[in-house]
Amino acid sequence: MKIVALTTEISMSPAMKTNRLKNIQEIFLGRFSNEPSATVQICKQSSGAAAENERLLKIGESEVWPHCKTRLFVLAVQDTDLDTYNIWAGRLQAGKNGQSPVDGGYRMRVEGRRFHHLGSYTRGTTSHLDFYGKNAAASRVLVANQLDQRRKDIDEAINDVPSHLVDEVLRLVRARGSTHTWFRDQLRKRWGRKCSVHGVECNGQLIASHIVAWKDDEKARGDPNNGLLLSAPLDALFEEGLISFDTAGSMLHSKHLKKATKEIFGVRSGQKIRWDCVRASDQKEMVKYLAQHRFLHAAKHGYAD
C-alpha cells in the first residue's frame, strides 16, 4: 500500500513560535488532557506543497495517512527552517468520516473543523530522542497519556498495601507518578521484598524510602541507589532523621530517640544495612546518598551508634 506522507511548509506567526514544547507528553496538557493516548505522525519537509497543506489544516483535514488507532490525531510538521517542528492536534470526527479511505490510505478529519497548534520544538535545543523518547525522524509514535498511566500506577500501588497506609500511598503516587512506582519496584527487586535492615517481609508493611528526600534532589528521585526498603516504623524514623546510617551501613541513633520508642519501633544496637543484597558498585553510590542524609540531619539530631 502506498502511503503519501503529510508534508508542508507552514509559516508561523511570532505568537505561535513562543510556545516551545520540551516533550511530546505536553500534547496532553489543556484541551486533550482526558485522551488516553495518541498516534503522532512525524512529518518530512517537501517543497511545493505548502499552500495546499496549510489550507487543509485550516479546514480540519490532513493529507493521506495510514490508519490511526486513536481518536486523537497529532501531526509534527517540519517548518521552513528545517529544524523546527510544529505540533498540531485534533480529535477525529466520529465514525468513518473521521478517517475516510482515499488513495491507498486515509484522510483524517477532526472535530471543530480545524487542527489546534500546540507549539513547536527545535532540534537545535531538543533532539528527536529527547522529545519523543525515541530517535524518530519520519515515523508514527504511539504516546501514552501519563494521566491514564498514573491511574494504573495507583491501582497497582494499593493492591497489596495495608488499609491504614492506602491514603498515604495514594498521595505519593498522585504527586510523584510513575517515577516513584518504578523506584519502588526496583527496591522490591533488590531487597527481595524484605526490609533492608530487618531482613524480613514484615507482613508487607514496607515503604520504598528515599535516602535523600524527593524534594531535595530532583535528579536522584528515580535512582534505586537513593533508596532503602524499610519497615513502616523504620521508614518513619529515617524520614525524620531519628535514625541514619554510617559509611559501613551501621545504624546511627539520634540523641532525641527515646528508649521506649526504640523498643516499640524495633530499633536495637548493632543493626545495619544488608549489604549482601547490593552490588559493590551500587554500594558506593548508596554511601554517597547516606552521607548526604547524615549531613542534612546531624545538626538537629546528632548521632550515636
In the DSSP assignment, the letter for residue 248 is T
Residue 181 · residue 153 · CB < 8 Å:
yes
Q: Are 205 and 231 in contact (CB under 8 A)?
A: yes
Q: Partners of 84 in the beta sheet?
A: 122
Higher-confidence residue of 210 and 220: namely 210
Q: Work out the mean pLDDT of the chain and round it to a whole number.
A: 79
Q: Which pLDDT tens digit goes with each residue over 51-60?
A: 566 677 778 8
- For residues 218-241, give the mean pLDDT: 88
Q: What is the DSSP letter of 117?
A: E
pLDDT band at 4 (very low <50, low <70, confident <90, very high): very low
Buried b (16+ CB within 10 A) or exposed e, 118-146: bbbbebeebebeebbeeebeeeebebebe
- Residue by residue, DSSP assigns 64-96 as EESPPSSSEEEEEEE-TTSSEEEEEEEEBPSSG
The mean pLDDT of 59-86, rounded to a whole number, is: 81
Alpha helices for the chain (secondary structure H)? 14-17, 50-58, 128-132, 146-157, 166-191, 232-240, 259-265, 280-301
**This prediction's pTM:** 0.46
Please check whether residue 13 is in contact with residue 120, taking contact to mean a CB–CB distance below 8 angstroms. Answer: no
Q: What is the pLDDT of residue 50?
A: 52
Structure confidence at residue 47 (pLDDT) = 45
For the chain, the domains span: 14-144, 150-304
Q: Please tell me which of 2-6, 61-65, 157-161 the model is most confident about, judged by mean pLDDT.
A: 61-65
- Grid cell 551501613 — which residue? 249
Cβ atoms of 304 and 255 within 8 Å: the answer is yes
pLDDT tens profile 83-118: 888 888 889 998 888 999 988 888 888 988 888 888
User: Contact, 64 vs 103, CB < 8 A?
Assistant: yes
CB 294 within 8 A of CB 246: yes
Confidence check: pLDDT of 24 > 90: no
Show the cell assigned to 150: 498514573
CA distances from 142 to 21, 102, 302 (A): 18, 23, 52
Residue 65 CA to residue 164 CA, distance in Å, equals: 51
